A and B are shown apart, each in its own frame.
Chain A
Amino acid sequence: MPFKPIVLWTDALIYLLLVVIVFFVWYVRSNKHLLEPWRRVGHSTSGMMALTLLVFFITIGLLDTVHFRSAVESNRDTESGTIYSAEVLSLLDVIATPLRTRLEKTYSAPFATHLYTKETIELSDGKQVREFPRLVFGGANLQDPKTQFTADFASRAFIGLSFGIFIWCICAILLITLLASMGGHKFSETLSIIWRNETESPWKYVLLTLALIFSLAGTAITLSAHYHILGTDKVGQDVFYQSLKSIRTGLVIGTLTTLIMLPFAILLGIMAGYFKGWVDDVIQYTYTTLSSIPSVLLIAAAVLMMQVYTETHLELFDTIAARADLRLLFLCIILGVTSWTGLCRLLRGETLKLREMEYIQAAHAFGASHWRIISRHILPNVMHIILITTVMDFSGLVLAEAVLSYVGVGVDPSMISFGTMINAARLEMAREPMVWWPLLSAFSFMFALVLSANLFADSVQDAFNPRIKTSLIRIGKSRQGKQGNKLENKVVVSIIRDSTSP
């Protein structure tokens, strides 16, 4: 089927981010001293387990990033050539086509074969009864759900589980072979070393995490072919599908916000610390002003204005997806505006310290230009701060998205995200009988994502700077001595978290 690839704004930025990461990996690999802290990350058990789970989430997110519009069959021979459908799909949508297209009428519980609400059904003999009607797709293969369900469920779950474990075995064998050839051991030796957990990196736990992921995924995939494993929502859409789609939104918010704000924070922070004088004053004034506006309110104000803009310029967007995407990007930008100040402040403090160092003065004496000193001598030495801030911010941003969507200034309502799911679930909890599964699904997926991000961030922080937290306090104190008369925040407080947490 012909299709037209679509690169939305956030897609483009994600590709850019991938390029940046590839370049970064290549750069780190060629520098031994840069590789060392990453080795330490690789040795941490919790960090590697979290990374494995994150990679799994990122894979789903990337699959959901490749967008295209498929051709509409009937209108193929018109004058303008092929006409493409207005619906923008992603690779994930294609893989999950059964989940996406099998809509029920309304709510149905996980693994249900009947709707969650009673309806009036006309029997064949003309009588009308009120009962729970059968689902159109969920468990449609069963003749008599009451008696057959358990057996059918068990056999399918077993098939799925074995399938998942089979795939895991292949992956494990490939990994162990690779490790064996790298380490110069035999396959069986490597296996026993891993089993006894005597490898440098905790491969045993990585494999265990993979086993868990694969068996869960295998079971979920097989079962979701015939059931709605996490139920359906109000309009009958599969909740499992929604949870999968939410992952990309969360990842985009968590990563692109940082990507967008990094250049500004780095450039301004280092400039302020390096040049001092009026440059410092101007930059400090800018970030103090921005950070003194409570971030939720600034975001709310900006998003309100964005809404006005899109409403009055509807002609600019050819698809709903493009509009939702631009709003997502805008949300990232405005979140970036509110969060760059923290990093900027840290970098300024660190640069203030670094520029007095002897090696910088030596560089001055050799006649090195400002640009060269900044790029060759200062930037590499503040890299760890940038990296740690980036990974630490991620989970906070994913959580902030949910709150913002609840407040009504988050992502576009047509875009599936954890925030919109929770927002809908709030009313469902008040129903009688209660609809609990959308909330539980959003909770589990979000918890897994944020927890793995937090654990990974912790191990990165430990590896790069075991004393980062103490050094944050140090910076605050030393600045106070020097610049006590400047109006600025002395203690590093995560503003987003303070003002959004209830």
Chain B
Amino acid sequence: MFNYIIRRIFYAVPILIGVNLVTFALFFVVNTPDDMARMQLGIKRITPEAVIKWKQERGYDKPLIFNAEAEGVTKLTRTIFFEKSVSMFIFDFGRADDGRDIAREITTRMLPSLGIALPVFLLGLLSYVTFALLMTFFRATYIDLWGVVLCVALMSISGLFYIIGGQFLIGKLWHIVPISGYGNGLDATKFLVLPVLIGVISGAGSSIRWYRTIFLEEISKDYVRTARAKGLSERVVLFRHVLKNAMIPILTGAVVIVPLLFLGSLVSESFFGIPGLGSYTIDAINSQDFSVVRAMVFLGSLFYIIGLVLTDISYTLVDPRIKLE
């Protein structure tokens, strides 16, 4: 088990290197730093000096991969590739365009992001499973049918509408909670209620339907027939036997998302004005701050890969039949 985890972590390294190469190619090879400088400074009022200054300020004034002018090892280290891409492995993301340290910014913004994402995840999982189980209990009745219809309808609404509608109804019309903003400590709760609620509702359609299929598949298995043949009531069969077994695919499917919760969500954070990583990324995209976007891409893939490893581990924890060699 332990060996397996160690090996998995080693398998993750080439993937991270791959991600790094992809982002490097995307940001520096497709467009040269000169192109970026011209874009940022504006096409019209551009002078060669301004471009050089822009590149110098950001450390883009070095060769891409190989520095022929330098000595010894610095031939490889005094390059854009080494300074901007390789350094990410030790979480040195450099500075944003406004001069702040990106790594520090990320650590302070992680908490508000988690403040929305974690409740959404937990409450969501709990309520989706409950509803899916209820629909399975009432399967092949009108309750089930209309439940599915409702799920498909909910799925067909863009997440943006949930946010705009929720802000309008609860915040603006009923004045229950503030529309957007953020506070510190316990003060933050009242700002988080609305985004969490909307987050749970907007994911409901697809997840409930998906869990329902998992339950329905589980219910057609042999052990369920055995349990029924023993004379157990449908309630016991469903809530004790089926629920336990169906939780295996549900939980392991959910684990992969857990690390990504740190990244928050792009859309709802910026709508609700929560200073998390999601709104940080959106601001960076809108102001075309390439170094922040690059850092977030790297961080996102890192979290995703951690999620994959966790998924594998969780398989063994919840299902003793699976052994990792």
Contact = CB atoms under 8 A, between A and B. Distances in A.
A54 B14 CA distance: 44
B301 A422 contact: no
Given A301-B26, A455-B152, A487 B164 contact: no
Interface in A427-459: 429, 439, 443, 446-447, 450-451, 454-455, 458
Interface stretch (A95-103, A316-324, A491-499): A491-499
Interface of A: 285, 288-294, 296-298, 300-302, 304-305, 307-309, 311-312, 314, 395, 399, 402-403, 406-409, 418, 422, 425-426, 429, 439, 443, 446-447, 450-451, 454-455, 458, 469-470, 473, 480, 484-491, 493-494, 497-502
Contact of B162 (A307, A469, A497, A502): A502
A300 B159 CA distance: 18
A429 B152 contact: no
Given A450-B156, A480-B322, A502-B271, A297 B293 contact: yes
A45 B204 CA distance: 25
Max count, chain B CB within 10 A of own CB: residue among A300, A451, A486: A300
Contacts of B164: 422, 425-426, 429, 439
Contacts of A446: 158
Interface in B137-162: 152-153, 155-162
Nearest to B305: A292
A499 B182 CA distance: 22
Contacts, number: 194
12 contacts: A288-B15, A292-B301, A292-B308, A298-B297, A301-B26, A312-B43, A403-B160, A422-B160, A443-B157, A469-B210, A491-B311, A493-B253
Interface residues of B, number: 78
Contacts of B239: none
Interface of B is mostly: helix
B304 A294 contact: yes
Nearest to A495: B304
Given A408-B286, A490-B312, 20 more contacts: A285-B18, A290-B22, A291-B304, A292-B305, A297-B296, A298-B297, A302-B26, A304-B290, A305-B30, A309-B31, A395-B156, A399-B158, A403-B159, A443-B157, A446-B158, A469-B214, A470-B217, A490-B252, A497-B206, A500-B267
Contacts of B286: 408
B159 A399 contact: yes
Contact of B30 (A300, A309, A407, A499): A309
Contacts of A406: 160, 267
Interface of B: 4, 7-8, 11-12, 14-15, 18-19, 22-23, 26-27, 30-31, 35-36, 38-39, 43, 152-153, 155-164, 167-168, 195, 198-199, 202-203, 206, 210, 213-214, 217, 249, 252-253, 256-257, 260, 263, 265-268, 271, 281-282, 285-286, 288, 290, 293-294, 296-297, 300-301, 304-305, 308-309, 311-312, 315, 322, 324-325
B23 A458 contact: no
B39 A501 contact: no
